[in-house]
């Protein structure tokens, strides 16, 4: 059901629809960012099988071994669950979708100094939301820029079809998937302050480079959402959640996508 605009201007909506992404400043207050920081600092001190599996011994030269990403923290942590359903984020999503949003996934990236980035990719290759699309809400827990491996987005690729990825350079990317952008569009950095949120369409090509800084983490709290009228999603992302925390069970999307049914799916960025 179509809803009236609540928080975004017509210019912001037009920018999202044209470019495929939108940065909304300060959707998380300093106190809220600090609460998220505290929660994931606690998580970083332990191993949680299936969710966060670090090498705590300090022997590896790969900083991502010590600080891998946290998958689905909303299933194990109350703070992550609360902020996956952060009202200001859901209000923006409601405007972008023109209907209510369902929360499908949460993640947390520490991205310590020296760590690899993630090659360019498309999120709905993994989530397989149908009909409609996923939208990511990528929240900067640290200021993010080109030096510390902030997000790269390829404008106007929101209308680009979902494609089967090529192989990425795993010396620079922790994931093995790479989607080549069209010749007419180049990746541009998303420069963000703490508490800013980057929203982007599930077809948009995006990724990040290595964290080249000496002493700056690039922490991010990332959630993916589906439109309320969607009926199917990949099994990694069920159940979904309404704003009040109640669960929604969408049909399992069995469609193999552009790589066929034998392709092994992994979590997006």
Per-residue pLDDT, 5: 59
Quick: pLDDT tens for 249-258: 999 998 888 9
Question: Could you tell me the residue range of the domain that residue 68 belongs to?
Answer: 10-53+64-253
- Please give the Cα distance from 120 to 214 (Å, whole number): 24
By the 8 A CB rule, do 165 and 125 touch?
yes
Residue 263 lies in a domain: no
Which whole-number Å values give the CA distances from 64 to 33, 98, 123, 139, 264, in the listed order? 22, 38, 21, 20, 22
- Please give the Cα distance from 23 to 199 (Å, whole number): 6
Quick: pLDDT tens for 30-53: 999 999 999 999 999 999 999 999
Query: In this model, does residue 173 exceed pLDDT 80?
Result: yes
Q: How confident is the model at residue 269 (pLDDT cuts 50, 70, 90)?
A: very low
The H or E element spanning position 200 is: strand 197-201
Which whole-number Å values give the CA distances from 259 to 108, 166, 264, in the listed order? 27, 10, 9
Per-residue pLDDT, 4: 58
Query: In this model, does residue 10 exceed pLDDT 70?
Result: yes
Residue 266 lies in a domain: no
Per-residue pLDDT, 263: 53
The H or E element spanning position 177 is: strand 177-178
Residue 1 lies in a domain: no
By the 8 A CB rule, do 15 and 197 touch?
no
Quick: pLDDT tens for 186-245: 999 999 999 999 999 999 999 999 999 999 999 999 999 999 999 999 999 999 999 999
By the 8 A CB rule, do 157 and 243 touch?
no
Residue 268 lies in a domain: no
- Please give the Cα distance from 34 to 263 (Å, whole number): 39
Bridge partners (DSSP) of residue 241 are: 103, 247
Q: In percent, how much of the chain has pLDDT > 70?
A: 95
Residue 259 lies in a domain: no
Q: How confident is the model at residue 85 (pLDDT cuts 50, 70, 90)?
A: very high
- Please give the Cα distance from 225 to 104 (Å, whole number): 5
Per-residue pLDDT, 1: 45
- The CATH number of residue 211's host domain is 2.60.120.620
> In the chain, how many domains are there?
1
Residue 89 lies in a domain: yes
Residue 267 lies in a domain: no
The two tokens of residue 130 are: 């149908």
Q: In percent, how much of the chain has pLDDT > 90?
A: 91
Give helix then strand counts, H and E, for the chain.
6, 16
Task: DSSP for 124-147, please give it.
Answer: HHHH--BSS-EEEEEEESS-B-TT
């Amino acid at each position: 059901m179509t809803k009236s605009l609540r928080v975004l201007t017509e210019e912001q909506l037009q920018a999202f629809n044209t470019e495929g992404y939108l940065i909304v400043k300060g959707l998380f207050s300093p106190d809220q960012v600090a609460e998220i920081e505290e929660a994931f600092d606690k998580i970083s001190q332990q191993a949680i099988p299936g969710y966060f599996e670090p090498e705590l011994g300090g022997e590896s030269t790969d900083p991502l071994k010590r600080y891998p990403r946290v998958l689905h923290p909303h299933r194990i942590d109350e703070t992550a669950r609360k902020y996956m359903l952060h009202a200001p984020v859901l209000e923006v999503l409601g405007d972008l979708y023109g209907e209510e949003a369902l929360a499908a996934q949460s993640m947390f990236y520490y991205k310590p100094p020296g760590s690899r980035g993630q090659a360019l990719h498309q999120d709905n290759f993994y989530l397989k939301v149908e009909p409609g699309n996923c939208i990511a809400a990528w929240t900067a827990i640290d200021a993010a820029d080109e030096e510390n491996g902030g997000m790269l987005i390829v404008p106007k690729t929101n209308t680009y079809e979902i494609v089967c990825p090529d192989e990425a350079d795993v010396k620079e990317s922790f994931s093995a998937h790479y989607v080549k952008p069209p010749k007419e569009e180049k990746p541009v950095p998303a420069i963000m302050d703490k508490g800013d949120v980057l929203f982007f369409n599930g077809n948009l090509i995006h990724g990040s480079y290595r964290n080249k800084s000496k002493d700056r983490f690039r922490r991010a709290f990332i959630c993916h959402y589906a439109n309320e009228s969607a009926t199917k999603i990949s099994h990694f992302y069920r159940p979904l959640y309404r704003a009040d925390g109640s669960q929604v069970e969408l049909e399992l999307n069995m469609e193999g996508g552009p790589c066929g049914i034998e392709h092994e799916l992994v979590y997006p960025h």
